[in-house]
Chains A and B, each alone.
Chain A
């Protein structure tokens, strides 16, 4: 009993440590990566005792600034809901990471430890449900601020997220049909096999169209450019207009948390999660035959590191997209969601079903 609790606490701590550190590093990476993409240098002035370390202290300075700023609540706002909204948004973004597996079973002595915070049979549905609940935070923020611009921002957030949630759900149905399960750990296990003898059986090779649709819709779900119409900080004014200080910071953090969650989800569903190609429980199975034997613990460490690198890569890709493309107009956004991506994802389901029927006849 106590052991089980300790293991669970350790997994939660590791998961949150990874998630929150990724979020903090993303605020740094966003500045530095955009700077490199635009031939600039990026934030590099925050220093502790003269050390700047490539601007790595800027997230710290940001946090200090956010915490020490005035927490402003507009007159006529619903004080309770105004305070609750950022917590709702951040909470659901944070817990959605829990179902994503970050490694295979680790054997400590004779006890297997599943490297996943919650091993749910309905893991995929859980992640989607938690991410959809997040929209309540944004709508609440828009409504409780007693400001029409905030309310419009909240409504934009709601309609955008509902539109794209449907595409997200429809885009992974094909994948679920291929793997026959919505348990995320099992999905990752199934991706450890080989296609045609050499290709890792990653979801992206089964479902290239589903991958494109899922990534696009998931980026819309994170509410970052080119889909940042709910926020649009400087021009169209989003739902967090009336927020300041750390509450505003929590909304910003929510975006980054969602970016990491989406990156983890893309890695898990379409790029084999923690699977390293040709690495099995007993070591590397080289394609030409022959086994490089590794101990189980070493294999586990390699798998966790593989998952983290995939996570970092997809965060990088998300930032690359965010700093490359201009924002959609709102009618373009809705038309893209309903008239292009939804029919395509349904087509994807139909074609996948037909191919599966032919193969298994």
Chain B
């Protein structure tokens, strides 16, 4: 047998408030107690910090960004870098896979003949226009040589002009990964 659920025909309004809640006063005192507890708790922590005590306990949720950085997930897609061979030359063989798959058309490769016949080609120039890049990571997935990666954890590459946003092969090759891993961890920067 099915259970019959009674649906109330009218919305209930204003019920559930007791007399004291409707007078505001006790609830106002409760709210003030809560915020004042936060105030004095944090004030105590900050005073301890000024005295050099209890510094492992953070007094605020704020991350002081240029001086401090949050940890990122290891699979975060950040600024690109080109990987190198043992002799320091780029692993890239200028196969044009990344330039082809790039949905934003932000990769520009000029190929040249490599002296080693086993490698065949190398990129004479390899520019990425970061002003266009959508950080989809297709170029990394499609690369047959593991020559391009997006694991530097560098996100602050803003520039003052569009030209400066175009990174050439030298900058991409010499991108030192910052590797700021560990979600929820906060690291001091130098």
Chain A residues packing against B (C-beta within 8 Å): 33, 35-41, 212, 320-321, 323-325
Residue among A33, A39, A41, A320 making CB contact with B32, cutoff 8 Å: A320
Residue among B25, B32, B34, B60 making CB contact with A35, cutoff 8 Å: B60
- By the criterion CB–CB under 8 Å, are A36 and B46 in contact? yes
B14 to chain A, nearest CB (A): 13
- By the criterion CB–CB under 8 Å, are A37 and B60 in contact? no
Complex Cα spacing A345 to B39, Å: 32
Q: What B residues does A320 contact at CB under 8 A? A: 32, 35-36, 39
Q: What B residues does A37 contact at CB under 8 A? A: 35-36, 38-39, 42
Name 8 extra pairs, CB < 8 A, besides A323-B35, A325-B28: A35-B60, A37-B42, A39-B38, A40-B62, A320-B32, A321-B32, A324-B31, A324-B34
Complex Cα spacing A323 to B34, Å: 12
For residue B161, CB closer than 8 A to chain A, the reply is: no
24 A-B pairs, CB-CB below 8 angstroms? A35-B60, A36-B38, A36-B39, A36-B42, A36-B43, A36-B46, A37-B35, A37-B36, A37-B42, A38-B38, A39-B42, A39-B60, A40-B61, A41-B59, A41-B60, A212-B25, A320-B32, A320-B35, A320-B36, A320-B39, A324-B31, A324-B35, A325-B28, A325-B31
For residue B64, CB closer than 8 A to chain A, the reply is: yes
B35 to chain A, nearest CB (A): 4
A77 to chain B, nearest CB (A): 38
Q: Which among B39, B42, B46, B64 has the highest number of chain A CB atoms within 10 Å?
A: B39
Residue among A33, A41, A212, A325 making CB contact with B39, cutoff 8 Å: A33
Closest to B36 in A: A320
- Contact of A39 with B61 at beta-carbon distance under 8 Å, contacts A320-B32, A325-B31 already known: yes
B18 to chain A, nearest CB (A): 17
Complex Cα spacing A325 to B64, Å: 28
- For B, the interface residue count at a CB cutoff of 8 angstroms equals 17
Closest to A326 in B: B31
Q: What A residues does B46 contact at CB under 8 A? A: 36
Complex Cα spacing A176 to B64, Å: 52
Complex Cα spacing A37 to B35, Å: 6
Q: What A residues does B31 contact at CB under 8 A? A: 324-325
B43 to chain A, nearest CB (A): 6
Q: What A residues does B60 contact at CB under 8 A? A: 35, 39-41
Complex Cα spacing A212 to B23, Å: 12
B52 to chain A, nearest CB (A): 16
Q: Mark B40-54, 1 if CB is under 8 A from A, else 0.
A: 001100100000000
Q: What B residues does A323 contact at CB under 8 A? A: 35
Complex Cα spacing A212 to B26, Å: 12
Complex Cα spacing A37 to B60, Å: 10
B5 to chain A, nearest CB (A): 35
Closest to B27 in A: A325
Q: What B residues does A325 contact at CB under 8 A? A: 28, 31
A347 to chain B, nearest CB (A): 14
Q: What B residues does A41 contact at CB under 8 A? A: 59-60, 62, 64
Cβ-closest 8 pairs across A and B: A36-B42, A41-B62, A324-B35, A41-B60, A37-B35, A37-B39, A39-B61, A36-B39
Complex Cα spacing A177 to B62, Å: 51
Complex Cα spacing A340 to B129, Å: 65
Complex Cα spacing A40 to B60, Å: 5
B23 to chain A, nearest CB (A): 8
Complex Cα spacing A212 to B34, Å: 20
Q: What B residues does A40 contact at CB under 8 A? A: 60-62
Complex Cα spacing A76 to B32, Å: 45
B56 to chain A, nearest CB (A): 17
Closest to B64 in A: A41
Q: Mark B2-45, 1 if CB is under 8 A from A, else 0.
A: 00000000000000000000000100100110111011001100
Complex Cα spacing A39 to B38, Å: 7
Complex Cα spacing A33 to B31, Å: 16
B64 to chain A, nearest CB (A): 7
Q: What A residues does B62 contact at CB under 8 A? A: 40-41
Q: What A residues does B32 contact at CB under 8 A? A: 320-321, 324
Q: What B residues does A35 contact at CB under 8 A? A: 60
Complex Cα spacing A38 to B59, Å: 11
Closest to B61 in A: A39
Q: What A residues does B43 contact at CB under 8 A? A: 36
Complex Cα spacing A324 to B39, Å: 11
